Structure 1
């Protein structure tokens, strides 16, 4: 089936001497994997390696066989020309971490326009703004809403957050209950949008401790989840 759709690149891995395997989240069909033959050697082809950097937003013409095998892309064009996303060191670190996370946690091969719009809009926000040190924290908190385990904030006034159940509780009920500064940060993030991120003042230790709690939350709710390798790079950039 021939498909024309928007797509957000999650990863591009070298395969053999000249090929790339690209994972992308498409607006029409969810997550897809594509084999781009000879792209690393071709100088005159319609597809360029630079198009397939993490979180690039493209319009593609592709062939989808939908048989669980690698698909193919006939044509692609960049629909969002970023100003700083891949050139500023701090933003690049966030981009690699976020794309690493997305590649791990998003597996659905079906249309999800709400999730696609979220990824598109937030990536644009990251490109256009400068106060971005806590972007990935809010991004991951809000992403849980699209993955089905957004924290239940109906009793957000309680001191403990139960990572296993995703609820706030007045006392510790199991080994996965957390309290203290990281829970306070979670409460703040649940109540703000991206334009309010500049009001959240965190040091490196607070940011790291909260992210570790958040990744444990992901691990408890997503089978087979593992911390991305890019986490160490991200922590070093914002240390």
Structure 2
């Protein structure tokens, strides 16, 4: 049955000689993988691959067949045309990093419109924003809400945060307790939205250390989570 589905591209993989498998997070079905047969066969057909850049926002007319792992696409068009996300080297590094994160953590083949709209809206914000060096930090922190391990926002006056339990604590309870600059930044980011990110002033070293802490937080709460390969590229670009 042909249906329309808004989609955000997470990854693509060459399959056999001329085919491409594209994994998307969709508004109506969660994770869906599509197979584009023969799309790499000629230069003319390869032009279609421009639609499937990382985190592109698409409207797909799909031939969805339940109980199949790969589905086909009849028509595709851009739902939102990025102005800078794929051309600005700094934003492109963020896109590469976040697409790898999302491809890793989003597994559900079921509808979650709140999560879809969060990803959709924040990417459009990034596309239009000039001050975005800390965007990925706040994105990951807010993403934890949809993944089920958002830091609790009570007792923010306490001097420690426990990465394992996800709560603020009055005392140091071992290797999972953080304090100092990472704690200060965590408290600051928990209290703001993206439009206030320009008020967060940190240097490259602080940004990198906080990101490493966030990724460790993901590792503790998501089985099988691994640091993305694109992390080095991201750190190099923002160093």
Q: Same fold (TM over 0.5)?
A: yes
Which digits, 9 at most, give the CA deviation of each residue in 1:48-102, with x for residues without a partner?
1000001100000112223252111111001111100000100000000000000
The equivalent residue for 1:72 is: 72
Q: Distance in 1 between matches of 2:196 and 2:186?
A: 14
Asked if structure 1 preserves the Cα contact closer than 8 Å seen for 2:156 and 2:168, the reply is: yes
Q: Is the Cα contact below 8 Å between 2:55 and 2:95 reproduced in 1?
A: yes
Residue 80 of structure 2 aligns to a residue whose secondary structure is coil
Distance apart, 1:150 and its partner CA:
0.5
What SS is found at the alignment partner of 1:10?
Answer: strand
Correspondence for 2:144:
144
Is the 1:160–1:170 Cα contact (8 Å) retained in structure 2? yes
Q: Aligned runs of 1:61-210 on 2, under 5 Å?
A: 61-210=61-210
Instruction: Supply the distance in 2 between the matched residues of 1:118 and 1:46 (Cα, whole angstroms).
Output: 31
CA distance in 1, matches of 2:211, 2:45: 42
Contact 2:40 2:46 (8 Å CA) reproduced: no
* Partner Cα distance (1:201, 1:66) in 2: 49
Task: Give SS of 2:121's match.
Answer: helix
Helix, strand or coil at the partner of 1:79: strand
Aligned to 2:14: 14
Aligned to 1:57: 57
Structure 1: runs of 5+ lacking an equivalent: none
1:230 counterpart residue number: 230
With structure 1 as the length reference, what TM-score do the two structures score? 0.97
SS at match of 1:48: helix
TM norm structure 2? 0.97
**Distance in 2, Cα, partners of 1:153 & 1:192:** 12
Distance 1:145 1:211 in 2: 17
Aligned-partner Cα distance in 2 for 1:193–1:143: 13
Partner of residue 215, structure 2: 215
Ranges in structure 2 where 5+ consecutive residues have no aligned partner: none
SS of the residue 1:132 aligns to: coil
Find the aligned partners of 2:141 and 2:26 in 1 and give their Cα distance.
22
Secondary structure at the aligned position of 1:119 is classed as: helix
CA shift at 1:41, angstroms? 2.4
Contact 1:47 1:75 in 2 (8 A): no
Other-structure match for 1:23: 23
